Structure 1
């Protein structure tokens, strides 16, 4: 269902709720499903995002998620008005991005999206875990790890990688003696 949610009885997943009209705010909720233990809430409200910020990220998120779904032999999906079920791991990744952009200037969001795309899924999952532990609720904007996530707009990840690659190439061509600890040139 939706973005990779198993068609089983009450799976752990996220729901992205997109209201009608261009002014409504998009909300993301984590549904713990059958994994919820007695005495705890089975739904956690994770974030509410202004429509303009959602519009700025939605196409790239959909593209990234669909590429992963197709790579695993699953059907791609598209965002629609109403409830959009999202696989639990993809939902964690989406929260990392939405937490980063929830208070960001709109002109900086494309940089944050590029940096999010540059992260491996495991890195996004780790960031979700760190953030959700203390500041993962809908009312926690601007606190703890959510502040750190907002720094995703400061430096374009691909530019950092280009600088490192250029520096590495320059060092490789230098006539300096190299330390060869493992049988391979590590510089």
Structure 2
């Protein structure tokens, strides 16, 4: 009887998430968390800055913030609505309040920030007419695939000055030049052969750090 009563009084994971106080797009309101910050200037022509704040994981003050990408305003405008919709759907699944882009500082959960960087890196030098294709292809990727792409790109070409180099250039072509049906074809062929995909599906606030 006591165990039944105790179980009834134990909040579900979703209920526990609902009481979590967050800032922006899912950033825990704790002391110096690892997160991303998207800075949207007031000037309509100003570039949008995406930086990674390592928080308590930083080894020194000099390495506490990594500036990842500067995005021209028209390119940001072309992706912001779909990114907000996708992120809020993920947050809602965890019972976490949605976010919205605003002028100034926009904190973003560390995993969502990695995913945003992948899209921003892809479109930073992309022809405007290809950006909608890149957004659709980005949406078709699973979160862990975006995290992997971030990790590979960030290792060698993850800073402000690395546009058009290495993995940054590869992302531009992979997301913008490849038709969505072709991008998804390898996955479809695996499914048709009845093979299981062994890659893990990680939680929004999991321990993945790549």
Match of 1:116 among 138, 142, 146: 138
Match of 1:106 among 110, 118, 128: 128
The 8 Å contact of residues 16 and 28 in structure 1, kept in 2 or not, is answered as yes
Distance 1:68 1:28 in 2: 20
Residues 67-86 of structure 1 correspond to what in structure 2 (within 5 A)? Answer: 67-86=89-108
TM-superposed CA distance for 1:62, in Å, is 0.2
- Greater Rg by CA: 1
Note the residue ranges of structure 2 that are not aligned, 5 or more in a row: 1-22, 196-210
TM-superposed CA distance for 1:24, in Å, is 0.6
Is 1:33 paired with 2:51?
no
- Secondary structure of the 1:20 match is coil
Distance 1:180 1:27 in 2: 43
TM-superposed CA distance for 1:159, in Å, is 5.8
Residues 6-155 of structure 1 correspond to what in structure 2 (within 5 A)? Answer: 6-38=28-60, 40-151=62-173, 152-155=175-178
| Structure 1 residues 68 and 153: alpha-carbon distance in aligned structure 2, compared to 1, 3 A threshold | same
Distance 2:46 2:27 in 1: 25
Of 90-99 and 33-42, deviating more is 33-42
TM-score, structure 2 length as denominator?
0.76
| Structure 1 residues 142 and 7: alpha-carbon distance in aligned structure 2, compared to 1, 3 A threshold | same
The 8 Å contact of residues 29 and 44 in structure 1, kept in 2 or not, is answered as yes
**What per-residue deviation string (whole Å, max 9, x for no partner) do you get for residues 10-52 of structure 1?**
0000000000121010000100000101364100000000000
Distance 1:128 1:160 in 2: 18
Distance 1:180 1:48 in 2: 42
- Secondary structure of the 1:139 match is helix
Distance 1:37 1:159 in 2: 42
The 8 Å contact of residues 93 and 125 in structure 1, kept in 2 or not, is answered as yes
- Secondary structure of the 1:133 match is helix
